[in-house]
Structure 1
Amino acid sequence: MLKFKEVLGYHFVDSTMDELVGEVHSRIVQSQKTFIVTANPEIITFAQSNPSYDEVIKSSDYITPDGIGIVIASKILGRPLRERLAGFDLMLKLLELSDKEHYRVYLLGTKPNIIDLSASNIIKAFPNLEIVGFHHGYFQSDEKIIKEIQQKQPDLVFVGLGFPKQEKWISENLTHFTKGMFVGVGGCLNIWAGVTKRAPRFMVNLNLEWLYRLIKEPSRSKRMLAIPIFLKRVFHREFK
């Protein structure tokens, strides 16, 4: 069974990636609906200032420490998490599991001319899983998507609408489905499409993936302002 630790009022998964994937596998086998939030400092900072989103995050089944800032905060607060569980790595492991177990996958998110590339490249990499459907993230109505997921009954649904939209979408629509592992994956679908590159492995290992993304996407600088706010709150919690 997974362990959890409270950091800034949120109960994060405190496990290795293999332990988390093992738990996910067990829930898929039992057809348990599951909502996973891959949380970084930006998500937590936004949630702390937006009560409705805060409620969405806390209603999920699992909150994973997607950003190294979360792990650093846990150490400062004396509740060290075992490791960072990066969203892309989690998606990769779940795709590997799906390939092994022949699971059914649905993709939701990114642009109309990109999502089909995401699906195509995932199929090439994992030929034994079945992508039962996909839809871009620029939709006005949920109805078509909900009906398709209900009909196709995927085992895993990767939602890449960006925060806070992806978490809100999962939370608001989960009741429509009888099964499925729903995971917010941010920009991971763009990486699978090849339009965005992930940081080199050495930067990932050094926990500098955020710096690589900032260099490649300077427009993210405004979002990065959430990090000093997050750290200020961590130190305030520690020394108050």
Structure 2
Amino acid sequence: MIDSKDFVKIMDIPFLNKTKKDALNHYIFPRLNKQQKCFIVTGNPEIVMKTREDPTYKQIVLSADYVIPDGAGILLAAKHIKEPIPERVSGLDVMMDLLSFAEVQGLRCFFLGAKDYVNEKAVLEAERKYPNLKIAGHHHGYFELEDPAIVKKVKDSNPDIIFVALGLPRQEEWISKHIDEFSKGLFMGVGGSFDVLAGNVKRAPDWIIKLNLEWLYRLIKQPYRFKRIIKVFEFIFRFYLKK
């Protein structure tokens, strides 16, 4: 059980108040070792704003075992209420660490989501980076959330880790709908991480990431993300207005 002092509430959403290293070593890896089911949400301002607009989605996020702080806006909000979070915990970085852990521990990973060619390329790149990684299976993200054939395909592959790249809010909705049908597995929504892993989207340089300005880099590189960035500013405005 997570202790109350180990999370910070931002607009009713409890964010894990740990470094990436601590989150992995003391919370996530132990659950994998014990084959305990685990639901991870990579929380950012966009997700928080969605929980304010959609009560059903809010309950889904609140049902997660861990909400990790993947967003500079979350860190700013935590600092403002004098409960600072030590660092941004990127969902992409956690996914890569999980792949590395899976390779060493012999765990099976399933890649669910993204476009067909992106999904296949991401799997090939994962195999290249982690030669001994066990790929349980993979499937693109163009299907109905209730499709039983997809659930059966994932279950039959006997995965230990299921990366779900369906975007917000579909990835969390799919996990919430079907996690009870599994006896084990770490389920994590990873957004556009398959695109980065596949090499279709270039990640920001390390110095930009360290300055928590990756969102700005992505906006410059992908101007069509502007509407999503608006949600970040809306989050900051509403948070500070409330305070």
Normalised by the length of structure 1, the TM-score is 0.96
Structure-2 residue corresponding to 1:45: 49
1:227 aligns with 2:232: yes
In structure 2, distance between residues paired with 1:196 and 1:147: 31
Structure-1 residue corresponding to 2:9: 6
What's the CA shift for 1:95? 1.0
Structure-2 residue corresponding to 1:169: 174
Q: CA RMSD in A?
A: 1.2
Q: Which amino acid aligns with 1:71?
A: L
What's the CA shift for 1:148? 1.8
Q: Is the 8 A contact 1:41 1:227 kept in 2?
A: yes
Structure-2 residue corresponding to 1:34: 38
Q: Which amino acid aligns with 1:10?
A: I
Q: Deviations over 1:171-203 (max 9, x none)?
A: 111111110000000000011111111111111
What's the CA shift for 1:236? 2.3
Q: Deviations over 1:96-151 (max 9, x none)?
A: 11111111000001101221110000011011220110000011352222112221
What's the CA shift for 1:214? 0.4
The within-5 A match list for 1:81-230 is 81-140=85-144, 142-230=147-235
Unaligned runs of 5+ in 2: none
Structure-1 residue corresponding to 2:58: 54
In structure 1, distance between residues paired with 2:22 and 2:147: 33
What's the CA shift for 1:206? 1.2
Q: Is the 8 A contact 1:160 1:189 kept in 2?
A: yes
* Bigger mean CA offset, 108-117 vs 135-144: 135-144
In structure 2, distance between residues paired with 1:34 and 1:98: 15
Normalised by the length of structure 2, the TM-score is 0.95
* Bigger mean CA offset, 203-212 vs 137-146: 137-146
Q: Deviations over 1:54-100 (max 9, x none)?
A: 11111111001000110010011122112110111111111111111
What is the aligned length?
A: 238
Q: Which amino acid aligns with 2:207?
A: F
Q: Which amino acid aligns with 1:104?
A: R
* Bigger mean CA offset, 75-84 vs 116-125: 75-84
- In the TM superposition, structure 1's runs of 4+ consecutive aligned residues that sit over 4 Å from their partners are none
What secondary structure, in the 3-state scheme, does the structure 2 residue paired with 1:19 have? helix
What secondary structure, in the 3-state scheme, does the structure 2 residue paired with 1:150 have? helix
In structure 2, distance between residues paired with 1:142 and 1:206: 41
In structure 1, distance between residues paired with 2:110 and 2:62: 24
What secondary structure, in the 3-state scheme, does the structure 1 residue paired with 2:56 have? helix
Identity of aligned residues (%): 40
